[in-house]
Amino acid sequence: MRHQPGVHLVGGKVGPADFAMNNESGILIEGFEQRPMIVQPWHPPYYQQLMEQAGMAKAMDLLMWNLEVSDREKVLPVIFELAEKVESDHGIRVRPMRRRQLRKELDSFAEVYNSAWANNWDFVPYSKKDLDALAQEMQLVFDKHWAFIAERLDTGEVVGMAMTFPDINQVLAKMKGRLLPFGWWHFLNKGRTIDRVRVGFLGVKPEYQHTGVAAKLYVEHFNAAAVRRQQGGEMGWILETNTPMNRGMEAMGGRIVKRYRVYERLL
């Protein structure tokens, strides 16, 4: 069951936030010069001052990491070594998600998400109703080149996933909020415009996190960027306390470009 907007499960008020941390959350406190990507809020710098003047204290920072395909040489070699052994040593393959079976694929996504994110701060699991709505929303931005499922070859069990979204905000900016007179043309030709992506989700079930599946999913993103118009993008948001993921971003040659802060007032 979802908690109410802005109500922390440990008995205090947190915010600003949507219904859950899966959605827009926090105040932008670093990276004001960066254009907001899909499902990212933007705030002027004085919002942070207003929050703190209102007596709100920091609860958690959320990080956005930038990755570029041109930075492939900066990636630690061990990432590629682990990725190469996933299938031969552990019997796990990575495949693209399928648009025609997107709703079913989202059940697999939720299976991983609800397991891999379960111990994260302010975690809220995906419900069937959430997935129904997400499937409809994703139809506008889904690209099989940027969505992956990792599964065991012997049993078909889903063990990991990644969902990355072409940054539709680039197209919406050109449309200026209107379909007419030429907004529709920009939307239909969005493939010519979008050159950035946002990695929204990348996770592996805890019992398979030693297998190199995460490394394989990282490498698949570099492979996709090598043949697609999108040559890079942002990954997150990642909790500042999520040491394994943040170290993974460092190993991939990433850099932090935005920081969002969730505030808290204990009751």
**Phi, then psi, of 30 in degrees rounded to 5:** -145, 145
Give dist(CA 115, CA 56) in Å, integer: 31
In a domain, 18, yes or no: no
SS3 label, residue 127: coil
Q: String of b and e for 219-234 (b: at least 16 CB within 10 Å)?
A: bbbbebbeebebebbb
pLDDT tens digits, one per residue of 93-141: 999 999 999 999 999 999 999 999 998 888 889 999 999 999 999 988 9
Whether residue 48 lies inside any domain: the answer is no
Q: Which of 10-24, 87-101, 173-187 has the highest mean pLDDT?
A: 87-101
- Range with lowest mean pLDDT among 10-24, 28-42, 228-242: 10-24
The whole-angstrom separation of Cα 84 and Cα 87 is: 7
pLDDT at 187 over 70: yes
When divided into structural domains, the chain yields a total of 1
Residue type, 176: K
Q: In terms of C-beta density within 10 A (0-12 exposed, 13-18 middle, 19 or more buried), how is residue 71 classed?
A: middle
Give the whole-angstrom CA distance, residue 257 versus residue 63.
8
What is the Cα–Cα distance from 196 to 66, expressed in whole angstroms? 10
Radius of gyration of the chain measured on its C-alpha atoms: 19
- Residue 50 falls inside a structural domain: no
Residue 124 counted as domain residue: yes
Distance, CA of 214 to chain centre: 14
Domain that holds residue 175: 65-256
What's the pLDDT band for 72 if we cut at 50, 70, 90? confident
Question: Which pTM does this prediction carry?
Answer: 0.85
Quick check: is 6 in a domain? Answer: no
Measured between alpha carbons, how far is 15 from 25 in angstroms, rounded to an integer?
Answer: 7
Q: Which DSSP state fits 19? A: S
- The pLDDT of residue 24 is 84
Q: Please give the Cα distance from 130 to 104 (Å, whole number).
A: 13
In CATH, what number is assigned to the domain containing residue 118? 3.40.630.30
pLDDT, tens only, 46-61: 999 999 998 899 999 9
Q: What is the DSSP string of 92-128?
A: EEEEE--GGGHHHHHHHHHHHHHHHTTTSTT--PPPH
Lowest-confidence pick of 156-160, 204-208, 226-230: 226-230
Phi/psi for 157 (5° steps) reads -60, 135
- Whether 54 is covered by a domain: the verdict is no
- Model confidence band, residue 20 (pLDDT cutoffs 50, 70, 90): low
Residue % of the chain over a pLDDT of 70: 93
Please, what is the Cα angle at 167 between 190 and 220, to 5 degrees?
105
From CA 261, how far away is CA 153, in angstroms rounded?
Answer: 41
pLDDT at 157: 97
Residue 47 lies in a domain: no
Q: Which residue has better confidence, 9 or 205?
A: 205
218/199 Cα distance (integer angstroms)? 10
Residue 21 lies in a domain: no
